[in-house]
A and B are shown apart, each in its own frame.
Chain A
Amino acid sequence: MRRPHEAGISSPRLLLLLVIASVTLMTLDIRDVGPFADMQQTTRNIVEPFRSAGDTVFDPVGNVWDDVFSGGGNQDELDALREENAKLRNDFIAQANASDLLESVMLQLDISYVGNIASTIATVVDGSIGNFDDFHIDVDRGSNDGIRVGMPVISGGGLIGRIDEADATRSRVLLIVDPTFNVGIRVVGSREDLAIVHGGEWGNPLRVDEDINPLAAIEIGAPVVTSGLDGSLYPADIPVGFIVSTQLDEGALTQILEVEPSGELASLRHVTILLYDPDAEVEP
């Protein structure tokens, strides 16, 4: 009598086939092959109504769960304090920057440092999904609202991330704390010092570990803003954070800077997405 697996592909071969298929799909994803990404997006769009229904049904369950297991009674107060803290940080940067771009901005609906760039407010509908996706949030605006991959996302306190995926009615935001997140910055008050800052994971400051002149005098507490150089995904002068430490790396002839993000990341409810197209900016 034949065993079941002898009728078709034998077990080890099937497993090998699936492993090869997985590695191939990983490669296609990493290389961001267009049709493959479109197919993923289309599938998500088809399932989206069911997912939204699930969110609607289960969010209250989650809130009750949080209240029971996380002491949710103090959460609103904590959120309000965090929001106020973010606004105060933003105010500090606004005063420190010589330009007038950062003047007295307190509310998401009136963020003036984005200048004339069109923007849209989005509500955070999901945090990171699962146990390994630590650096993303989902927002309720998608390609139907003009959202495109790469657009900067800010909160009252400054830059908090960029659009990583844009489905029809929902987008995924890569947060600034992700170690793969890079943004060109300049230290306010020392216009020569342009560098790249990258995420340092939750609880750690952002890091600049190259391209800073070892002789440059950089003060602790100095604000850091986006450089907005040609080719950058981000417009200039969006607050990124404050310098919290500097350390000379003699071997690499640079200074290592640690930057505390000014945007409030821990309890985001609403964010502003800048409908910024860097290519359009470059055009004369």
Chain B
Amino acid sequence: MMVFVRIPLVLVSVVLLQITLFDELRIAGIAAECAMGLAVAAGLAGGSDKGAMVGFLLGLFLDLYIATPYALSALTFAVVAFIAGFFDNSMANTSWLVAGPMIGIGTASGVAMYVLFGEILGEDHFYTDRFWVLLIVTGLAGLLLGGPLMAAMRWCFSNGARQGPPPIRRFGVVN
């Protein structure tokens, strides 16, 4: 039951941080894609199904504030989290040093996917000559934020009681 309290709390908090704090802290004019990072973390922490659902809801909420086609973030986050859920999450769950790079790479890949979907939908200004800078900055930001984001999503999906190590999942199969 706590899951249904924790997830909305984390989603709302991250979206508010995304549109307030992280929108101010720009590097080379580029803001960290904290919400995309959270979608990746949701996939890693909860697996494909839960991750995709959380990513979708997160994207829907974020899309209320950005003037791009509504549900474009929801679509991208769901797909990114779904794909992230197929990767081995045991390492990401145990060390921030591993979670960071995984979420950084996932974030940059998600941003590239977002640009692709946007271009398909006719948003011609998504792909610019700064595309690679965008990927590098958002990837590095994801790397730095990966640990806290992973911890937040692990907290969301935990049942409140102390547990042993999470089950090792390789490509969607629980061993």
Contacts and interface: CB of A to CB of B under 8 A. Distances in A.
Nearest to A11: B48
A29 B70 contact: yes
Interface string B24-42: 1111001101000000000
B47 interface: yes
Contact of B72 (A26, A43, A172): A26
Contacts of A58: 20-21, 24
A51 B19 CA distance: 8
A14 B52 contact: yes
Interface in B100-151: 111, 114-115, 118, 121, 123-126, 134, 138
B69 A47 contact: no
Contacts of A126: 19, 23
A269 interface: no
Interface residues of B, number: 53
A201 B25 CA distance: 24
Given A11-B172, A129-B19, A164 B67 contact: yes
B126 to A, nearest CB: 6
Interface in A1-50: 3-5, 8-9, 11, 14-15, 18-19, 21-23, 25-26, 28-30, 40, 43-44, 47, 50
B14 to A, nearest CB: 12
Nearest to B117: A22
B30 A131 contact: yes
Nearest to A5: B49
A25 B23 contact: no
A15 B52 contact: yes
Interface stretch (A59-67, A151-159, A185-193, A236-244): A59-67
A61 B25 contact: yes
A132 B66 contact: yes
A135 B66 CA distance: 11
Contacts of A103: none
A158 B22 CA distance: 32
B16 interface: yes
**Chain B interface main SS type:** helix
Interface in B152-175: 172-174
B53 interface: yes
B67 A22 contact: no
A130 B23 contact: yes
B2 interface: no
B91 interface: no
A54 interface: yes
Contact of B114 (A21, A43, A54, A132): A132
B138 A131 contact: yes
A261 B119 CA distance: 27
A35 to B, nearest CB: 14
B45 to A, nearest CB: 13
Nearest to A128: B67
Given A26-B72, A47-B12, A51-B16, A172 B67 contact: yes
B16 A54 contact: yes
Contacts of A128: 67
B10 interface: no
Given A47-B16, A132-B114, A132-B126, A22 B68 contact: no
Contacts of B121: 26
A28 B74 CA distance: 14
Most chain B CB inside 10 Å of its own CB: which residue of A18, A47, A59:
A18
A250 B121 CA distance: 32
Contact of A5 (B33, B48, B67): B48
A210 interface: no
A47 B25 CA distance: 22
A25 B71 contact: yes
Interface of B: 12, 16-21, 23-27, 30-31, 33, 47-49, 52-53, 56, 59-61, 64-72, 74-75, 78-79, 82, 85, 111, 114-115, 118, 121, 123-126, 134, 138, 172-174
- Report, nearest first, the 9 A-B pairs whose CB atoms are least far apart: A62-B24, A54-B20, A29-B70, A22-B75, A25-B71, A22-B71, A58-B21, A18-B78, A58-B20
